[in-house]
Amino acid sequence: MNPIAPQKEEVRKFWNADPCGTRYLEGKEDFDAHARARYAREPYIFDFAQFQSARGLKVLEIGVGMGADYLEWLKAEAQASGVDLSAASIERSRQRCEQAGYQTDLRVADAEQLPFPDDSFDLVYSYGVMHHSPNTPQCIREARRVLKPGGQARIMVYHHPSITGAMLWLRYGFLRGKSLRQSVFDHLESPGTKTYTCDQVQQLLDGFRDLEMRVVFSPGDLLLHQPSERFQSGFYRLVWKLFPRALVRQFGRRWGLFLLITATKAS
């Protein structure tokens, strides 16, 4: 048996139970509410993804989640395919796109073993996904494999160090002797979540050229997101209210959680 399979099954179970962004649905099928919340909290997605530049291109999105970005690729008239480890996420994405009047090419698949031939896509996009997979370097290698020579990868992975990581360390690691990275690994979203420095990303992106990276704040860094069920006590509500967002914005630029990466597959 593959030794990483149990951990991957835990990741699958986590996202099947709570597809990314579910808490922002105002009703079971209110995808507009989800999109409004997502893009209000992460407005840099449009600049990073550049949806409108993809008209006519073959695009693969790895980890479609609730399908908000995948729908934007379809709206831009890209030939868009999408995969996710979570069947629940694929179903939500398909429902969302069909509700908007679009046909989809969506399938349940493992980012470490993509079901596409070599040199298939002009663009591979993956936003906040690969750091959840047990073998993130293999995800990068697969993205490179399915890209055409000269094709572009646009990938977001979690950055180290980050303000979100520091908050998790204070909550779960400080008194337990855990490192900042281990605190993220154990407590940020699905089990086994990893973070990367810019130097480590350069190593991961071997075989790519024109590498560009940008660190940005996440809703978690600024506590702008809606807290999950485990953070609903009076203490946490007070933390959310008093968190010094202005100071973090002014002095914490180097410690955002999101690392936005753009790179081109070498010919």
- The pLDDT tens digits of the residues spanning 128-138 come to 999 999 999 99
Work out the average pLDDT over 234-263.
95
The pair phi, psi for residue 261, each rounded to 5°, is -125, 130
Q: What is the mean pLDDT of the chain?
A: 93
Query: What residue type is 232 in one-letter code?
Result: Q
Query: Residue 200: left if φ>0, alpha if ψ -120 to 50, beta else—which one?
Result: alpha
Residue percentage of the chain with pLDDT more than 70: 95
Length of the chain: 267
Determine the pLDDT at residue 28: 54
Work out the average pLDDT over 160-170.
97
The angle, 0 to 180 degrees and rounded to 10, between the axes of the packed helices 87-99 and 5-17 is 40
Q: What does the block give as tokens for 74?
A: 């379809």
Q: Which domains does the chain have, with CATH numbers?
A: 5-158+195-218+255-265 (3.40.50.150)
Q: What does the block give as tokens for 79?
A: 């030939």
Determine the pLDDT at residue 12: 87
- The pLDDT tens digits of the residues spanning 72-120 come to 999 999 999 999 999 999 999 999 999 999 999 999 999 999 999 999 9
What is the pTM assigned to this prediction? Answer: 0.93
Q: Cβ of 233: how many Cβ atoms within 10 Å?
A: 10
Determine the pLDDT at residue 78: 98
* Exposed/middle/buried for residue 213 (C-beta within 10 Å: 0-12, 13-18, 19+): middle
Confidence at 3, pLDDT banded by 50, 70, 90 = very low
Work out the average pLDDT over 55-67.
97
